[in-house]
């Protein structure tokens, strides 16, 4: 809500001064801030839905609302980049006289400072709650800081020299930055929507946790994905076929607890498979693996 409020004020200020002054850089900044306002509203709506608990129709929860929000924000950023390039193309051939340059410089300077503070707060909160939507919103506002600085340099160059080229080139620079961030945010939103696996470092941490519990336990398969802040881990483990069901069940519970300590809120599903056996001395069967759990784990309280 702080992000929504600050962007509303900045959009109004940039749009008014940009229209009155005729600055392409300032108008592109107003468009960018308008996008940031819409992105903040999308993030707010997605967070409102994503926190709903699982229900009958959505047994895995509503975390992908955050990924959808990030993807839509990325598409909006790309659309604004196209508009900025279109405006700059016209200004290259037909320069527009600029007025109220000092006011434009003041608005851009205030915008950079305000967005720097709000983006820092959003980034801190995104890390605390592992929120994709808040992280995307923070990225938008950090980009606004860079673009405001670029537009400010363009207006300052025009103020000192009277050359419109400075303002137009600054607007082009703003458009390039907006395009780059749009591609990055869209790609990040797609990761969750397409069930991309977790980063290699996180999967390796899961493997280390399994090895720490039972060093000889084999991870036959590890599948992972993330929806919003929630991680989903599916592990297929090879266990000794001669161990009893209760023993294997206790081991799986213990592993789930250890993984959830490392990744709070993670949904862990463990599928145990029996080890391979080989015939020996006629009808006798023996394990082809060194697995014998023989480990007792504290029972969970009822």
The verdict on 101 and 147 lying in the same domain is yes
Q: What is the CATH number of the domain that holds 204?
A: 3.30.70.1350
Vertex 78 angle, CA 85 and 227, to 5°: 170
For residue 55, the tally of other CB atoms under 10 A from its CB is 9
The verdict on 179 and 214 lying in the same domain is no
Q: Region 266-273: what's the mean pLDDT?
A: 89
**Confidence band of 302 (pLDDT split at 50, 70, 90):** very low
Task: Write out pLDDT tens, residues 83-108.
Answer: 778 767 766 666 655 666 677 777 77
Residue 134 has pLDDT above 50, yes or no: yes
- Residue-range definition of the domain harbouring residue 77: 2-193
Q: Region 229-245: what's the mean pLDDT?
A: 84
The verdict on 179 and 204 lying in the same domain is no
The verdict on 6 and 132 lying in the same domain is yes
138 φ, ψ (degrees, to nearest 5): -65, -40
The verdict on 160 and 35 lying in the same domain is yes
Domain count, the chain: 2
Domain end (from 141, 170, 193) = 193
For residue 6, the model assigns a pLDDT of 73
What is the H or E stretch that residue 180 is in? Answer: helix 164-193
For residue 285, the model assigns a pLDDT of 52
The verdict on 169 and 238 lying in the same domain is no
- Would you report the helix, strand and coil content of the chain in percent, each value rounded to 5? 65, 10, 25
- Which SS3 state, helix, strand or coil, does residue 231 take? strand
The verdict on 78 and 214 lying in the same domain is no
Task: Write out pLDDT tens, residues 149-191.
Answer: 777 777 777 777 777 677 677 777 777 887 888 888 888 888 8
> Is 301 inside a domain boundary?
no
Name the more confident of 99 and 33: 33
Cβ atoms of 277 and 285 closer than 8 Å: yes
């Amino acid at each position: 809500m702080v992000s929504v409020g600050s962007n509303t004020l900045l959009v109004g200020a940039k749009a008014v001064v940009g229209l009155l002054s005729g600055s392409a850089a300032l108008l592109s900044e107003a468009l960018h801030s308008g996008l940031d306002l819409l992105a903040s509203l999308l993030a707010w709506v997605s967070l409102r839905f994503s926190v709903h608990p699982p229900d009958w129709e959505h047994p895995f929860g509503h975390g992908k609302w955050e990924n959808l929000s990030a993807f839509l924000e990325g598409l909006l950023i790309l659309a604004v980049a196209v508009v900025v390039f279109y405006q700059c193309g016209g200004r290259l051939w037909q320069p527009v006289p600029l007025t109220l340059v000092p006011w434009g410089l003041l608005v851009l300077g205030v915008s950079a400072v305000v967005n720097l503070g709000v983006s820092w707060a959003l980034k801190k909160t995104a890390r605390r709650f592992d929120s994709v939507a808040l992280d995307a919103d923070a990225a938008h506002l950090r980009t606004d800081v860079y673009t405001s600085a670029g537009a400010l340099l363009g207006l300052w160059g025009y103020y000192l020299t009277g050359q419109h080229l400075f303002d137009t080139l600054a607007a082009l620079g703003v458009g390039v930055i907006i395009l780059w961030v749009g591609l990055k945010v869209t790609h990040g939103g797609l990761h969750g929507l397409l069930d991309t696996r977790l980063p290699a470092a996180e999967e390796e941490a899961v493997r280390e946790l399994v090895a720490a519990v039972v060093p000889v336990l084999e991870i036959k398969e590890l599948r992972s994905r993330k929806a919003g802040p929630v991680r989903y881990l599916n592990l297929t483990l090879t266990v000794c076929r001669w161990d009893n069901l209760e023993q294997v069940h206790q081991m799986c519970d213990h592993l789930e607890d250890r993984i959830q300590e490392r990744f709070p809120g993670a949904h862990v599903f463990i599928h145990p498979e029996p080890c391979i056996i080989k015939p020996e001395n006629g009808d006798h069967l023996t394990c082809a693996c060194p697995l014998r759990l023989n480990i007792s784990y504290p029972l969970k309280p009822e």
